[in-house]
Structure 1
Amino acid sequence: MTEAMPNGLVAAFQAHYDELLRFLARRLGTAERAADVAQDTYLRLTTANKGGDEVRDARAFVFRVAGNLAIDERRRDGRRADVQATAEAGSAVPDPAPSAEAGLLQRERLRLLDSALEELPANVRSALLLSRVDGLTHVAIARRLGVSESMVAKYIAQALRHCRRRLGAAGEGGRGAAAGPAGRGRL
């Protein structure tokens, strides 16, 4: 049977519509998606064959057009899934910045620590800062302050006790407020 007119393609579409829906549903997985692709097939068929080329088997042509559109639909699904997976992977990356609440607590903790350090005698404060912030040894601190190594140890212990008491009194518990370089020591 030879059909050269688009009307013949539309007639073949209408005659085999139920069969076409079952064919598309098997390929696409749902009746809803099959109906959408069938509608696209109909639109494609109404504009097909405008050049007057001969279509020998209208049913086969309709199923070929529908099958190609189903393939295109599945490819689009694959691209959407890739984009979605990429978007989800990007949203799973944790934000390294502290939360506003954590930042506020840290600033308050630093203010309390700074206040506690200001209350210390100059040599005691210097010994602690040279040890924890600058990472100097007790020998280097002793030379810089002009005191013995054992006095440096006493200064640092005194400073740590004072800071812990001040942070503890403020409800901070004094845990890990001023670890020095390489994680040495805690207040």
Structure 2
Amino acid sequence: MARQSASVLIASFQENYEQLLRFLIRKLNGDSERAADVVQDTYLRLAQTLDTEDQIDNPRAYIYRVAGNLAIDQIRRDRRQNVHQDVEADDFHVADIGDPKPGPENIYLSREQIALLDRALSQLPEKPRAALLMFRVDGLSHNEIAQKLGVSNSMVAKYIGRALKHCRDALLVRAER
């Protein structure tokens, strides 16, 4: 009985080869080489069913199920391999960096940006500057800033917004030069 079901599977496989290949090409995003590999793996898997005693009611559906499962396994294997390669590439990239300290150019640029921000802050009126510093440096809420400055919450938001825009514009003007 098992011998008969295996020969039925192989015969059905041969009859449906072209449709199975097209099915796998679609499933594997148009990669015909990988699809051909999966078709061959499917044949090998079907040939191993000689040892089973189970009766297969719908050979074509069984073949497609085996092929679909093998295609899913292939996709998962490719994803794992890609993730593994990405991790290796990241490790390689990190190894190239060497010393994690910033280089002289980055230090200079950072100091220049700090000087620009300091100059921009000094150009701000007192209340917007104080509101921005209390919010960003001291971590105070709008309510707390409003109480300290004697203004409304909405005015604090306006002060902070104007101060941030002024600082951003000062940095952008410098970056455009």
- Output the TM-score relative to the length of structure 2: 0.51
Q: Tell me how far 1:51 sits from its aligned partner.
A: 2.3
User: CA separation in 2, counterparts of 1:51 and 1:32?
Assistant: 30
> What do residues 27-82 of structure 1 show as CA deviations (whole Å, max 9, x unaligned)?
11211110000000000000115222110000000000000000000000110011
Structure 1: unaligned runs, 5 residues or longer: 98-187
Report 1:35-54 matches (<5 A): 35-54=36-55
Q: Structure 1 residue runs of 4+, over 4 Å off?
A: none
Q: Which residue of 2 aligns with 1:20?
A: 20
CA distance in structure 1 between the partners assigned to 2:57 and 2:50 by the alignment:
12
Please tell me whether the aligned partners of residues 20 and 38 of structure 1 are also in contact (alpha carbons under 8 angstroms): yes
The amino acid across from 1:45 in the alignment is: L
Greater C-alpha Rg: 1
Shift in Å at residue 4 of structure 1? 5.0
Counterpart contact for 1:55–1:61, Cα < 8 Å: yes
Report if aligned partners of 1:41, 1:69 keep a CA contact under 8 Å in 2.
Answer: yes
The one-letter amino acid paired with 1:83 is H
Q: TM-score of the superposition, structure 1-length normalised?
A: 0.49
Q: How many residues get paired? A: 95
Query: Greater CA deviation, 48-57 or 65-74?
Result: 48-57
Matched residue, 2:85: 84
1:96 to 95, 99, 107: 99
Q: Give the 5 Å matches for 1:1-187.
A: 5-29=5-29, 30-93=31-94, 94-96=97-99
* Identity among equivalent pairs (%): 45
CA distance in 2, matches of 1:51, 1:33: 28
C-alpha distance in 2, partners of 1:51/1:16? 22
Structure 2, unaligned stretches of length 5 or more?
101-177
